[in-house]
Every structure is written in C-alpha cells, then in structure tokens.
Amino acid sequence: MARAGVTVDRLTRAAADLADEVGFQNVTVSALARGFGVKPAALYAHVKDIRELRVRVAELALGEMADRAAAALAGRSGKEALVPFAAAYRTYAKEHPGRYAATQLELDSESLDVSAGRRHAELTRAVLRGYDLAEPDQTDALRMLSSTLHGYVTLEMAGGFRRHPREVDASWSRALDALDAVLRNWPPA
C-alpha cells in the first residue's frame, strides 16, 4: 500500500479548502481522510486532534488575510489606505467563507496570539496611522474599525442584508465614507 503523502501542511490546506466548500463547522477528520484516500485514524499521526486542525486553518487564513492586507496598504494612508484594506478584508471573506469563519475561533488560544493574528492586528492599526490619533483614541478607533468590518462582512454573509433591496456594495462604500469621516474627526472625550 503506497503512502498517501499526508503532511501537516497539505492537511491544513485541504481542511481550509474543504471549509470553503462545505463550511468550517462541517470539516471532519473523516471527510479529509476520504480526500487523501486514507483511513481517518491515519490523520492522527499528523495532528493531535480536530481542534489543532482548526487552529491551523485559522492561522493559515489569518496569514493569507495579512498578506492581502499588506498588499492593499502598500505605502498608502488615510482613506487611500482604508478603502483597499477594507476591500481586501471583505473580498477575502467572500472568496473564502470557510477560512474566514476559522479566524473567528476563540482568539485566546495562544497559538493565534503569536504569528498571524498579531500581524493582522498590526496591519489594521497601520490603517489608522494616516489619521493621527493619540492613545487611547487610537485603540478605541482600532476596535471600532475592526468591529465594523467584521460585523459587516459577517452579517452580509449570513444573509442579514438580503431583506432590503438597497445594493450591498453601495452601502458598504458609504459605510467606509462614514468610517473615514469619523476617523478624520474623532470626537473628543
């Protein structure tokens, strides 16, 4: 019986792809094993349990998002940075719903703390540099920005905006206008 050539990386990528197809919650060890032409138990040689697999997918996704965010930022600042950054975020989520869902795992797990999660957070903070906010306003604004992007994308993908005819792309663009406006003119305490 020839070996299937499973590795942690190939497993993680397969899990991410499967998540994008069938949803993050529906990724199972069994389904992955089937994809590799291998028995489920075989995968436990590469991964401790399904939880580890999920964390790895989250790391992968956060890394990919950070890459796109970095490219979108590329020397720009202010609204010139905000808009493409936000677009990269939303596009990634829609292209990779399973991977995006993975990033919503309890962010506590130390693993995510390091590596990709931190990097993505720092890039988000970089967006704010053009708005020159002093602490603690910067952190407050960062939290609001993250919330709005994450909330928008989540609600949109869950179908929360489908009940109203207004085109979502247009609304999105106006939300960014509003975000830009409030960041430029952050209210005093």
Residues lying near a copy of itself in the complex (CB under 8 A): 25, 104-108, 113, 121, 135-137, 139-141, 143-144, 146-152, 154-155, 158-164, 166, 168, 170-171, 174-175, 177-182, 185-187, 189
Phi/psi for 137 (5° steps) reads: -55, -35
**Residues between 51 and 70 that touch DNA (CB under 7 A):** 51
Q: Work out whether 106 is an interface residue with DNA (CB under 7 A).
A: no
Residue 30 engages DNA in binding (rule: CB under 7 A): yes
Q: Is 25 in the site for DNA (CB under 7 A)?
A: no
- Among DNA, a copy of itself, none, partner that 49 touches (CB below 5 to 8 angstroms by kind): DNA
Q: Does 28 bind DNA (CB under 7 A)?
A: yes
Binding segment for DNA (CB under 7 A), chosen from 12-20, 41-49, 108-116, 181-189, is 41-49
Residue 44 found at the interface with DNA (CB under 7 A):
yes
| Shortest CB 10 distance to a copy of itself, Å | 27
Cα–Cα distance between 36 and 43 in angstroms, integer?
Answer: 10
As given in the structure block, the two tokens for residue 87 are: 């677009």
CA-CA-CA-CA torsion for 35, 33, 100, 96, nearest 10 degrees? 0
Q: At what angle do helices 29-36 and 8-22 cross, to 10 degrees?
A: 110
Interface residue with DNA, options 13, 35, 50, 144 (CB under 7 A) = 50
Cα 72 to Cα 82: distance, rounded to the nearest angstrom: 9
Site string for DNA, 161-180 (x = CB under 7 A): --------------------
What residue ranges bind DNA (CB under 7 A)?
A: 1-7, 28-31, 37-42, 44-46, 48-51
